[in-house]
Structure 1
């Protein structure tokens, strides 16, 4: 095993998850794609997508979820992603002008912290997929969601197999459900294998 493989294995071992209880999964429904997941969620309200890139999924959120207000949050921090910011600004120019869409440039945890508690009806997370950051984002999101608000996110998978990289989304959401009193509401099984999750509070 080479050094890179050893590091990946060490990270996988570090974030190894614990078993969930049946109450965390018994009401979960599987849907074909994350677009289909949006179709069955409550419409309207305030939504935020954290990790926007070029805004492809933002377009689906607008069309399928029809939020009253959508915040698009991303750091767009290096040259590779700045083109995405320009694309997003142009793509949603009309919605930005009317106030239906607002771009907020910054890091996920800093921006989420700036909103009032209970503010959002829907939060979608799609940032680095690292365990530690995802855990922080989930904890913040639980405070920023309304009582019946939903937390969803992308890359509910073991990692990127093209450029080997371990993800921690599965383990972080599992730990969050156990520790914070949430459960899985939907899981998508997209054909590209980069699945999405949606969580709700256990009432």
Structure 2
């Protein structure tokens, strides 16, 4: 009996040894092929360890999001480098143009010097100084934006000759005005812009008109600028000019809808590509500040304001009374250029920029009529 018990114990020991050896072998195989440490092999580790390996593999493998962020970072670095190059070029150009401003100021009259200094010192919302000359080879869109910002700072028609000089046209080009009346504005254009030729179109030879013409000849300016007076209706005179003739033309004749529309149709082919076509009296009375440009499309125009007692064109003008609206002229301009998908700009004159259309009662009423302008494609 005792021998059987010893044999049974020995059998159990042998079985235990075999199981232990088998376990050790399994642990060795698992450690070799799966990378499991021998002291962590239990049920929980066997369930958790593969997840750890997957996480390590995911960390080692770059994700799509990381690649996308890396590409965006590289693009931003390249953009910053490009912007730095552009800024350096602009700084160099500004220095060159400041020297031009000093040169022009030294050879200009006191009035022109004052105006040039105002323009040169003006800054836009970003604090970038306006140079004396715009960069060359501007596209129409760039010229529109440039002229709009330029005229926003000095928002009066008196700035047109300086805008033309800013585009590099001083001393060259062809200009003209339809309806010069006393020739005040044409005289300013000729003296400051100094184009090669200037065409005056006026029906009547008024005293002020004749006096200014004689003064131009007396000063010798007419010899430097070929000034020609064409007497008659503008639509009869249009045939005297070839197509693509004018670099700047100012329409200030009859302000009736039909007359303005006829001037636009007749003189539009006479404008060069990149030229500026402009005109006066872009405003309406209080009852007609909203104009239907196209079916379902309305536009708001400035209020003409009140008379200041110095209006020489109307004997019935009463100081402080509402000025006669020029909505017919404005409607002709808006309709004509809306059909061509061309943007129309206008000056502010004596209006407050934050209340262009005088919607607030406390805003002072304007007394000067705005001018409109477009850049010819």
Question: TM-score, length-normalised on structure 1?
Answer: 0.75
Residues 12-49 of structure 1 show CA distances to partners (whole Å, capped at 9, x for unaligned) of xxxxxxxxxxx9xx944434211123312332300111
- How far residue 180 of structure 1 moved from its aligned partner, in angstroms, is 2.9
Q: Any gaps of 5 or more consecutive residues in structure 1? A: 1-22
Residues 171-203 of structure 1 show CA distances to partners (whole Å, capped at 9, x for unaligned) of 11111111234322x4211123311111123x4
CA distance in 2, matches of 1:108, 1:134: 10
Would the alpha carbon gap of residues 172 and 99 (structure 1) be closer, same or farther in structure 2, given more than 3 Å must change?
Answer: same
Q: Any gaps of 5 or more consecutive residues in structure 2? A: 1-140, 286-303, 308-316, 318-322, 351-366
CA distance in 2, matches of 1:59, 1:99: 11
Other structure's SS at 2:335 match: helix
1:62 counterpart = 2:221: no
CA distance in 1, matches of 2:239, 2:342: 20
Equivalent residues in 2 for 1:31-110 (5 A)? Answer: 31-41=154-164, 42=167, 43=169, 44-76=172-204, 82-93=206-217, 94-97=220-223, 100-110=226-236
- How far residue 88 of structure 1 moved from its aligned partner, in angstroms, is 3.2
CA distance in 2, matches of 1:196, 1:72: 18
- How far residue 69 of structure 1 moved from its aligned partner, in angstroms, is 0.9
Would the alpha carbon gap of residues 181 and 141 (structure 1) be closer, same or farther in structure 2, given more than 3 Å must change?
Answer: farther
CA distance in 1, matches of 2:162, 2:224: 24
CA distance in 1, matches of 2:225, 2:190: 13
Other structure's SS at 1:141 match: helix
1:135 counterpart = 2:261: yes
> Hey, what does 2:277 align to over in structure 1?
151
- Bigger relative contact order (CA 8 A; separation at least 6): 1
Higher deviation after alignment, 26-35 or 42-51: 26-35
Structure label with greater radius of gyration? 2
Other structure's SS at 1:180 match: coil
CA distance in 2, matches of 1:107, 1:95: 26
1:122 counterpart = 2:282: no
Would the alpha carbon gap of residues 36 and 117 (structure 1) be closer, same or farther in structure 2, given more than 3 Å must change?
Answer: same
Question: TM-score, length-normalised on structure 2?
Answer: 0.42
CA contact (8 A) 1:50 1:73 kept: yes
CA distance in 2, matches of 1:110, 1:126: 16
- How far residue 55 of structure 1 moved from its aligned partner, in angstroms, is 1.2
CA distance in 2, matches of 1:65, 1:182: 25
Structure with the higher fraction of residues in strand conformation: 1
CA contact (8 A) 1:32 1:189 kept: yes
CA distance in 2, matches of 1:138, 1:91: 31
CA distance in 1, matches of 2:224, 2:275: 25
- How far residue 99 of structure 1 moved from its aligned partner, in angstroms, is 5.4
* Total equivalences in the alignment: 173
Would the alpha carbon gap of residues 32 and 101 (structure 1) be closer, same or farther in structure 2, given more than 3 Å must change?
Answer: same
